[in-house]
A and B are shown apart, each in its own frame.
Chain A
Amino acid sequence: GENVEQHPSTLSVQEGDSAVIKCTYSDSASNYFPWYKQELGKGPQLIIDIRSNVGEKKDQRIAVTLNKTAKHFSLHITETQPEDSAVYFCAASTSGTYKYIFGTGTRLKVLA
């Protein structure tokens, strides 16, 4: 079945630096790739997503890139701020399956 690997599991950066989180997926039929941010004790919230017909998408300080050939996608956060500290999850899904396969998460710490 579909598998999503996410790296690193923890990431510490200085405030103002960039953070990059990478995910790889196994099912070439996957066509939707959301990224979620989860703060302590809360449910995950979507921060950005990308579909397989697009190579890159940007929303202010957050961007996601997708390489369909290599089956990997990445989250880029620029000018990090302390409020970016959270656990980030990537996911992959295929139209019609109703299922997301989530990565294992990355705990990002932004040091002031």
Chain B
Amino acid sequence: SQTIHQWPATLVQPVGSPLSLECTVEGTSNPNLYWYRQAAGRGLQLLFYSVGIGQISSEVPQNLSASRPQDRQFILSSKKLLLSDSGFYLCAWSPPGAGASGEQFFGPGTRLTVL
């Protein structure tokens, strides 16, 4: 069976510090991978998605970046955090080739607080 992991679960960082959030998927190959941000009481905003190693599509201009160094690893980074980067970050995967017509499976999330 497939599982998705995210870490850390919670993170408190000062403004201007760097960020690295990691997501890994087990039990599948060549998944589509996604990063979402959820602000308090708000919906899910797609930040990045990837359909293969080294392939990253950005949805929203911001000071965040994403990388996919391995098939089942997706990393969200920032060089300098802003207060507005606070939120709940969710990683998700979907089966390869399914496009958006198949289920996306979400990880447990990382709660980021920027002070």
Q: Which residues of A contact B (CB under 8 A)?
A: 6, 31-32, 34, 36, 41-46, 49, 51, 89, 93-100, 102-105
Given contacts A98-B51, A98-B99, contact A105 B42 (CB under 8 A): yes
Contact B108 A98 (CB under 8 A): no
- Which residue of B is nearest A43, CB measured? B106
- Sorting the interface of chain B by its residue count into under 10, 10 to 19, 20 to 34 or 35 or more gives 20 to 34
Q: CB of B64 within 8 A of chain A?
A: no
Interchain residue pairs with CB less than 8 A apart (28):
A31-B101, A32-B100, A32-B102, A34-B103, A36-B106, A41-B111, A42-B108, A43-B92, A43-B109, A44-B44, A44-B106, A46-B103, A89-B43, A93-B101, A96-B100, A96-B101, A97-B99, A98-B49, A99-B49, A100-B44, A100-B46, A102-B43, A102-B44, A102-B45, A104-B42, A104-B43, A105-B41, A105-B42
Q: Which residues of B contact A (CB under 8 A)?
A: 32, 41-46, 49, 51, 57, 59, 90, 92, 94, 99-109, 111
Contact A95 B100 (CB under 8 A): yes
CA distance in complex: A95, B102 (Å): 9
How far is the CB of A10 from the nearest CB of chain B, in Å?
10
